[in-house]
Amino acid sequence: MSIVNITHGDDLDGLTCGALLKKLFNANIVLANYDTIEDVLKNIPETTTQLFITDINLRDALICHLKKICLKTKITIIDHHPMTQLFKVEMRECNIDVHHDTRDCASALVYNLFRHRLEHNASRIAAYAAISDMFEDGPIASIILDHMDRKFVQHQAFILTHALGASQSEEFKIRVINDLSTYAYPHRIKDAVELACSQLEKIVKIKDLVPKKATKLGRLAYMEGNDELSTGEVANIVMDTLGIDVGMCYKINDGMADLSLRGERRLIEHLGEIAFKLADNCGGFGGGHNRAAGAKIPADSIKQFIQDLSEELKPWVPFP
Ligand SMILES: [Mn+2]
C-alpha cells in the first residue's frame, strides 16, 4: 500500500500538512507549487492507493488530471484556498473527498480531520502553520492556540517561517517535515535558527531599498524583486515600509511575471478574488486569500495588471 501526499512546498503550512500526514500514515511526501503541480499530478505512480493533496490551490485546468488519477487511486483534498463551484461539483462526481474551509490554514484542517488519531503534541504542528499563514483566528486554530503558551509557539513558528524564507532547498524542507513529524522543536532543527537570522538580515536590506525602488499608485505600492527574497516576502516588506494598504512584488522570468500581493490586516477587498479575475483577463492564472494572493501572467501584461489592480482598490479612509 502506498500513500502519497502532494503538498505545497513553498511555505510552512504545506510542510506541516506533510509532517502530520507522515506521522499519521507514513505518507511519501511530494513537494509541489503552482509551477510544478501539473507535472507532479501527471507523474503520480500507479501503485498509489491513497493520494492526499494539501494546501494547494487546485485550478480548474487541473481537473482532467485528477479525473484520470481517481480511476485507480483514492484522492482526498484538504485545502483552504478559494475553490470554484465547478471544481467542487466535478470532485463530487468523481468521488474525490474534499475537506475545504477558507477560515483556517490547511494544516489545522488536516489536524482537525484526524485529531482523534493524533497525540496532543500534534496540535503544535498545526499551530505553527496557523501562525505562519496568519490564520490564528480560524475556528480550529483559535481553539488550539487558546490552550498554548502563545509566545513560545509563535517564536517557534517564526523561526521556521524565516528559515524557510532563507532556504528553499529541498533538503532543508524535507528535514523540517521529518523533524516536525517526530515533534521536534523548531529551534532544535539543524540550521533553522541560523537561517532565520540570515533571513531577518535580508529583510532589513530590502527594507532599505524600498523607498528608492517601489512605486506608489493610490493605495498600492509595487516593486520588481530580485533573487534574494520571495515575491510574497517583498510584497509584505513594501506594505510595511511604506505603510500603504497593499504591497506588490513581481519577478519576470521566461516571458512570464510571477507576482505576489499582500494586504493590511483590515483590508476590505479580497486580494485572492482580484488576482483570480485580473490574471484571467490577461491569459494567466491567480488566486489566494483575502490578504495574501499571487498570480502568474504574461510579462507584457504587467503594466495593465498594476493599473487594473490600483483601480480595484477604491479610495478608502481608515478612520471615517
Ligand atoms: Mn496555506
Residue 7 Cα to ligand 1 midpoint, Å, equals 10
- C-alpha cell, 59: 485550478
Task: Look at residues 164, 194, 224 and tell me which one is the last residue of a structural domain.
Answer: 194
The rounded distance, in Å, linking the Cα atoms of 12 and 156 is 12
pLDDT of residue 269: 95
| 233 in the same domain as 103 | no
Residue 228 confidence (pLDDT): 85
Using the mean position of ligand 1's atoms as its centre, give its distance from the Cα of residue 80 in Å.
Answer: 7
CA of 111 to the centre of ligand 1 (A): 13
Instruction: Please indicate, yes or no, if residue 73 is contained in any of the structural domains.
Output: yes
Residue 298 CA to ligand 1 center (angstroms) comes to 25
The CA 13 to ligand 1 mean position distance, Å, reads 5
- Cα–ligand 1 centroid distance for 307 (angstroms): 28
- State the pLDDT at residue 315: 82
Ligand 1 centre to CA of 81 (Å) is 7
Spacing, Cα 134 to ligand 1 middle (Å): 9
Look at residue 227 in the predicted model and tell me its pLDDT: 86
User: In terms of domains, do 92 and 173 share one?
Assistant: yes
Predicted pLDDT at 319: 60
* Ligand 1: centre distance to CA 211 (Å): 30
Q: Hunting for cell 481608515 — which residue is that?
A: 318
- Same domain for 274 and 128: no
Ligand 1 centroid vs 16 CA: distance in angstroms? 10
45 alpha carbon – ligand 1 mean position (Å): 25
Query: Whole-angstrom distance between the N-terminal and C-terminal Cα of the chain?
Result: 60
Q: Are residues 249 and 113 in the same domain?
A: no
Do 51 and 145 belong to one domain?
A: yes
Write the DSSP assignment of 289-312 as a string of letters: -SSEEEEEEEGGGHHHHHHHHHHH
Residue type, 135: F
Residues 133 and 96 placed together within one structural domain of the fold:
yes
Q: Residue 105 Cα, ligand 1 centroid: separation in angstroms? A: 5
CA of 38 to the centre of ligand 1 (A): 19
How many angstroms is it from 279 CA to the middle of ligand 1? 20
Q: Is residue 34 part of a domain?
A: yes
162 and 130, same structural domain? yes
**291 CA distance to ligand 1 middle (Å):** 12
Residue 319 CA, ligand 1 centroid: distance in Å: 31
Residue 3 Cα, ligand 1 centroid: separation in angstroms?
Answer: 21
DSSP for the chain reads: -EEEEEEE-SSHHHHHHHHHHHHHH-PEEEEE-TTTHHHHHHT--TTEEEEEEES----GGGHHHHHHHTTTSEEEEEE-S---HHHHHHHHHTT-EEEE-TTS-HHHHHHHHHGGGS-TTHHHHHHHHHHHTT-TTSHHHHHHHHTS-HHHHHHHHHHHHHHHHH---HHHHHHHHHHHHTT--GGGSTTHHHHHHHHHHHHHHHHHHHHHH-EEETTEEEEE--SSS-HHHHHHHHHHHHT-SEEEEEEEETTEEEEEEEE-TT--S-HHHHHHHHHHHTT-EEEE-SSEEEEEEEGGGHHHHHHHHHHHS----S--
Are 66 and 76 in contact by the 8 Å Cβ rule? The answer is: no
**Ligand 1 mean position to 190 CA, how many Å?**
24
Q: Render pLDDT for 73-110 as a digit per residue (tens, 0 to 9).
A: 999 999 999 999 999 999 999 999 999 999 999 999 99
Residue 191 burial by Cβ neighbours in a 10 Å radius (0-12, 13-18, 19+)? middle
pLDDT on residue 102: 95
What distance in angstroms lies between residue 102's CA and the mean position of ligand 1's atoms? 10
Residue segments in the chain with a per-residue pLDDT below the cut of 70: 1, 317-320
In a domain, 147, yes or no: yes
Judge if 252 and 161 occupy the same domain. no
Q: Are 131 and 14 members of one domain?
A: yes
Check if the beta carbon of residue 109 is closer than 8 Å to that of residue 138. no
Q: Within this chain, do residues 175 and 237 fall inside the same structural domain, yes or no?
A: no
What residue numbers bound the domain in which 273 lies?
Answer: 214-312
Q: pLDDT, tens digit, for every residue of 272-286?
A: 999 999 999 999 999
Instruction: Tell whether 120 and 261 lie within a shared domain.
Output: no
How many separate domains does the chain show? 2
Ligand 1 centre from 212 Cα, in Å? Answer: 32
